[in-house]
Chain A
Amino acid sequence: QSVLTQPPSVSAAPGQRVTISCTGSSSNIGAGYDVHWYQQLPGTAPKLLIYSNKYRPSGVPDRFSGSKSDISASLDIVGLQAEDEADYYCQSYDVGLTESVVFGGGTKLIVL
């Protein structure tokens, strides 16, 4: 059971838009901690996709965007491409019972 909740999978056709949610609580996202997103292509290490809720590292296409509100965050991908098929993880920091870095359970994006 992950501290941050993500849907197990989402799917959409090429060219479409998809949104992946990440829901936390008052001890992590709701406490003001930033949310970061990672993309993990099959068989590879995760790659930073969005940092501090909404910023893209150099080299990440502007098809990817992030937002945060209250206890949740979202990753939006527009103009979906076949190579976007991957696992996506959100990450934040939790100050509940014990302080720790926390990840969402991950979302498998399927490009139909």
Chain B
Amino acid sequence: EVKLVESGGGLVKPGGSLRLSCAASSFMFSSFRMNWVRQAPGKGLQWVATISSGSENMYYADSVKGRFTISRDNPEKSLSLQMTGLTAEDTGVYYCVRAVGTIGSEFDVWGQGILVTVSS
């Protein structure tokens, strides 16, 4: 079964840092563009970041640019999101998501999500 499993979430103080990880299984991880999408409590989906299959290109939402860093380790089949300078507006469930193809393609596999809470 194709699967994505997030870890690393939790409670962090404003201004703090957190690193999310995503373990992929049962598909050729190195062939897919990967993404992070988040959802604030009671709100809609918001794209956070994308990394190309070979890490050549990274893209970020304006709201996280300069604070978040997406990376991947293809041999380990893992995706990461390093988050710094966290604020309350970063609180939410973070999903690790696989994109089918190139820019604008659909997100066909989603992890179960991991909760990040930024609060003092």
* Interface residue range, chain B: 20 to 34
Across the interface, name the chain A residue whose C-beta is closest to B108. A48
Tell me whether B95 and A46 are in contact (CB under 8 A): yes
Chain A residues with CB below 8 A from B35, complex form:
101
Knowing A102-B47, A103-B46 touch, does A45 contact B110 (C-beta < 8 A)?
Answer: yes
Which B residues form the contact surface with A (CB < 8 A)? Answer: 35, 44-47, 50, 59, 61-62, 95, 100, 103-108, 110-113
Of A11-19, A67-75, A85-93, which stretch is located at the interface? Answer: A85-93
Q: Tell whether, in the assembled complex, residue B44 and residue A105 are in contact, meaning their CB atoms are under 8 Å apart.
A: yes
The dominant DSSP class at the A interface is strand
Q: Does A104 contact B (CB under 8 A)?
A: yes
Q: Is A34 an interface residue (CB 8 A)?
A: yes
Binding site for B on A (CB under 8 A): 2, 33-34, 36, 38, 45-48, 51-52, 57, 87, 89, 91-93, 98-106
Known contacts A34-B105, A45-B112, A103-B45; 10 additional CB pairs below 8 A are A33-B104, A34-B106, A46-B110, A47-B110, A51-B100, A91-B107, A98-B62, A101-B50, A103-B47, A104-B44
In the complex with contacts A45-B95, A99-B59, A101-B50, A2-B106 CB distance below 8 A? no
